Amino acid sequence: MTQVSSTRPIVSVRDLGMVFPVPGGQTVALQDANLEIMPGEFISLIGPSGCGKTTLLRLMADLVRPTSGSLSVNGETPDAARQKRAYGYVFQAPALMDWRNVLSNVKLPLEVMNLPREGRDARAREMLKLVGLEKFERSYPWQLSGGMQQRVSIARALAFDPPLLFMDEPFGALDEITRENLNLELLRLWRETGKTVVFVTHSISEAVFLSTRVVVMTARPGKIEGVVNIDLPHPRGEDSREDPRFFQYATEIRELLKKGHA
């Protein structure tokens, strides 16, 4: 599962900048960001609050337009990639629709994209099985715990089989144990589907545990401080956390974060 293939990058960010006008001035949310993501990679963006992680992800997803620089997704502009439904997005909150049960929440993208009616149920069930919620397809969101809701939203993002997955602190609001379980599940999903994942997190250990590469960002102005290659073997499990290299990487990331703070 190493990505030594010489294919073109799936995401390529060049001198990207984003400035928001705010009352009485402006906020530089992102400055001169450069990054190339290869197909099949698991990239984590890590950094303190307000360093532009969400902004970078939203730029890639064409939810906002950059004020400077350029970026391409799947070799196209983000807009064209979105038009081709090239990525699934998992938000910080589950953002499920209260009036749809679990199954029909997962079917939502299939409906919007007018995919064949017959295949929808089967596909949605398959995704629910992948996140271990096949028993809850008739439940409504309010009947699920936060962790389960977030798993539904991951199933929903996977339902239309996009090659790319953007995840913005998907496990930020969960307790440690649920979070570690979901981390394992996410890694399994990533291995099984071969998708490219861009993952935003606050947690150093989560980033090290999940990623092939960790992009360390710092705030004011938001910029990329450095990139750390995580050379831990796959598949990873609980024992990966015991690996001495795990601590090395974590320390390296912490140093980079401190550097930005100074």
Partner 1 sequence: MATRAVSLPVAGPRPTLGVALLTVATLGLLGLCVLLARLAQSSAQAPVAGWPWLLGVAALFVVGAAGVRQVAQGESRAAKIVPAAAALVLFLLSAEALLRAYNVPTGLIPTPTHIAQALWAARTVLLLDAYYTFVLEALLGFVIGALLGLALALLAVRFRFLERGVLPYAALLSSVPIVALAPVVIKAVGLGWSSKTVIVAITVLFPVVINAVHGLQSASPLYLDLMHSYAASPVQTFREVRWPAALPFIFTALRVSSTLALINAIVAEFFGTEGHGLGFRIQIEVGRFGLDIVWAAIVVASVIGITFYLLIQLLEQRTLHRRV
Partner 2 sequence: MTTAAPDSPLAAAPASRSRRASNAGPMLAVAALALLLYWPVMLLANRGVAQRALDSGADLGCKTALACATQLRNPVIPAPGQFLEGFRALTIPPTAPTSAPYNMLVTGGETLLGLSLASLLGLILATLLVRSRSFERATLPWLIASQTVPIVAIAPMLAVLLGQYGVQGFLPKAIIAAYIAFFPVAIGMAQGLRSPDPLQLDLMRTYRASPGQVFGLLRLPASLPYLFTSLKVAATAALVGSIVAEISTISFSGLGKMLAENSRASDTVALWVIMVYSAVLGIALVALIGWLEKGVTRWRPAR
Ligand X SMILES: Nc1ncnc2c1ncn2[C@@H]1O[C@H](COP(=O)(O)OP(=O)(O)O)[C@@H](O)[C@H]1O
| Closest separation in Å from C-beta 61 to partner 1 | 10
Q: In what order do the strands lie in the sheet with 68-73?
A: 25-37, 11-22, 68-73
Q: Which of 3, 19, 34, 64 touches partner 1 by CB under 8 A?
A: 64
Nearest residue (CB) to partner 2, 1 versus 97: 97
Q: How far is the CB of 228 from ligand X (least distance, A)?
A: 18
Tell whether residue 19 is a contact of partner 1 (CB under 8 A): no
* CB nearer to partner 2: pick between 28 and 95: 95
Pairing status of strand 11-22 against strand 68-73: antiparallel
Q: Which is nearer to partner 2, 38 or 61 (CB)?
A: 61
Cβ atoms of 214 and 239 within 8 Å: the answer is no
16 contacts partner 1 (rule: CB under 8 A): no
Out of 3, 92, 139, 193, the only residue in the binding site for partner 1 (CB under 8 A) is 92
Rounded to whole angstroms, the Cα distance separating 75 from 77 reads 7
* Residue of the chain from 54, 72, 150, 201 that contacts Mg ion (CB under 5 A): 54
Q: In what order do the strands lie in the sheet with 164-168?
A: 87-90, 164-168, 196-201, 42-46, 213-218, 223-229
Beta-carbon contacts of residue 40 (< 8 Å; ≥ 6 apart): 1, 3, 5, 194, 195, 196
The option from partner 1, partner 2, Mg ion, none interacting with 55 (CB < 5 to 8 A, set by class) reads partner 1
Q: How far is the CB of 168 from ligand X (least distance, A)?
A: 7
* Residue 63 C-beta: closest distance to partner 1, Å: 5
For ligand X, the binding residues (CB under 6 A) are 20, 22, 27, 29, 47, 49-55, 222
Closer residue to partner 1 (CB): 54 or 104: 54
How many residues sit close enough to Mg ion to count as binding (CB under 5 A)?
Answer: 1
Residues of the shown chain interacting with Mg ion in the complex, contacts defined by CB under 5 A? 54
Residues of the shown chain interacting with partner 1 in the complex, contacts defined by CB under 8 A? 29, 54-55, 58, 63-64, 91-92
